[in-house]
Structure formats: C-alpha cells, structure tokens
Amino acid sequence: MSGTELSGLAGKVAVVTGAGRMRSIGRPIALDLAAAGCNIVLTGTGRAVEHYPEDEKEAGWRDISSVADEVRQTGAQALALVSDVSDPDSVDQLVKDTLAKFGRVDFVVNNAGAARGSDRVPVVDLAIEDWHKVMNVNLNGTFYMSRAFGRALVDQGEGGAIVNISSIAGKMLPPNTAAYAASKAGIQALSACMAREMGRYDVRVNTICPGIIDTYRMDDIGRGEAWENMLKMIPLGRPGTGEDIAHMVTFLCSDQGAWITGQAYNVDGGTVVQH
C-alpha cells in the first residue's frame, strides 16, 4: 500500500513564532512547512549576539535571518520579523505585517516560549517576577497570538489551523516546575476552548505536547549523567528532535488533519501514555 503525500499546504501562509534558534523546535517547523509548500512568517525576539550559544556564534548564525534564508532555499517566500508575543501591540502589528506581505494567513504555530531559568524551584520559593515572566510569554503570548490571528482567520473566511506548542509537563505536573507546568496546562485548556468556538469557521486548534527534545533549552543540564537518567524515562530510548515535532505540526495543518481539532497530542517517545 502506497503512502499519501500531505496536501492542502502549497501556497498557504504559515506564521511560526520563536523560530530563530539553530538547535530548536521552531526552526524545523518553519523548514518543514516551507518544504511542504507554505510561505513562512517567522519571528524571534531580536536577541543580542552575545546571548547566542557558542555553536551559533561559531556558525555565524543570524537568528531569524538565517532561518529565513533556509526557507527561501526550499523555494518558499519568507518574512522574518522581530516580535514580542508577550506584547499584544507587537502581536497586532505582526498580523498587519503578515497581511501586508502575503494578503492572507492560513496557519499559526505558537512555538515561542520562556527559557528554563530561576523559575525551576518550589512554589514557596518562586519569585513573583519569575512567575509572571513565564506566564507572559507562554500563556499570555499564546492567547494574544491566538486571539489576534484567530480574528484574521475568521475575517478571511477560508478556515485554517492554529497549532500551539505545549509540553508534557502540562500533563505530568512535576515538582519545581509550577510556573512552566501551569502555563503549559493553560495552553492546553485555551486550545480546547478555542477549538470548540472556532469549529464553525472551519478553523482547527490543536496542541502538541513535546517530551524531552534535544535542543539548546536542555544545555543547562548538560549531556552527562543527569541527561542519561532523563532518557531512561523514554520507552523509545532516545530524545526527540525538532523534526519530530515539526512533522506533527505539518500533518495537523494539512488536509489529512482536517477532521482533528481540540486535541493535545503527546509527541514524547512514549514517556506519557494515556488511554
């Protein structure tokens, strides 16, 4: 039996936030959608070069500009914009810039997220500012993006898809991750509510919950004993890659995912098994 190539993607416009890192989830998402025929709007925070990881510095990495160049190499068009998802005015401007460039939007991938940091402590020790930082980027940013681009999709009247990148932490709810886990659980609730509201407009809203993904976000724990112990939790025996998440995103945006909405899919090598 032969497989079926994904359809319904050629000539569409996809917005991918948090797409500027070299070792990431956002970059593969942008490239996979581009390879499938989408034109891409990709955003980053405009971080300073001194904050790049060493491998990005050595590679001469240019954040979203480098990813935009890779998108264009697939034959797709790319628009790279510095945008802060935690600022609703910046998000509104992103909608305007997207429509000004391409005249339409079809898919929105809310991938931008707060980096691991000083929020990884017990609740009683969690600084208020750390709580707000995580919530403002992860949950509020997803809300601002979904609200603004959701309006554009409704006005356009041709359906579409919103895919929100959450985490299995929003289901496992581990200790010392209260801000992060709560923000991700909130994304799952936001997505499910919105899916029920947007179905009448043929707009699908789904969530992907990645497990342990080998990206720059894991660099603070290294790749030694602690890393190996984490990998033991994964039945398939390896960490995920950005491409593992990207393939699921592309499927959910395609015609083949056209009857899927309101779901929160674990893409985690079997770490969280649900029935």
Give the active site residues: 180
Whole-angstrom CA distances from 214 to 25, 29, 211 are 9, 15, 10
Q: What is the distance between the alpha carbons of residues 187 and 44, in angstroms, rounded to a whole number?
A: 20
Helix (H, G, I), strand (E, B) or coil at 229: helix
Q: Which position has the token pair 């929020």?
A: 119
Residue 73: count other Cβ atoms within 10 Å of its Cβ. 12
Helices 141-156 and 88-102 pack at an angle, to 10 degrees, of 30
The region, left, alpha or beta by phi > 0 then psi within -120 to 50, assigned to residue 102 is alpha
Alpha helices in the chain (DSSP H): 26-35, 54-59, 64-73, 88-102, 128-134, 141-156, 169-172, 178-198, 225-231, 242-253
Q: How is 92-151 classified by DSSP, letter by letter?
A: HHHHHHHHHHHS---EEEE---PPS-TT-S-GGG--HHHHHHHIIIIIIHHHHHHHHHHH
Q: Which residue, among 56, 58, 77, has the nearest Cα to 68 in the 3D structure?
A: 77
Q: What is the distance between the alpha carbons of residues 228 and 27, in angstroms, rounded to a whole number?
A: 25
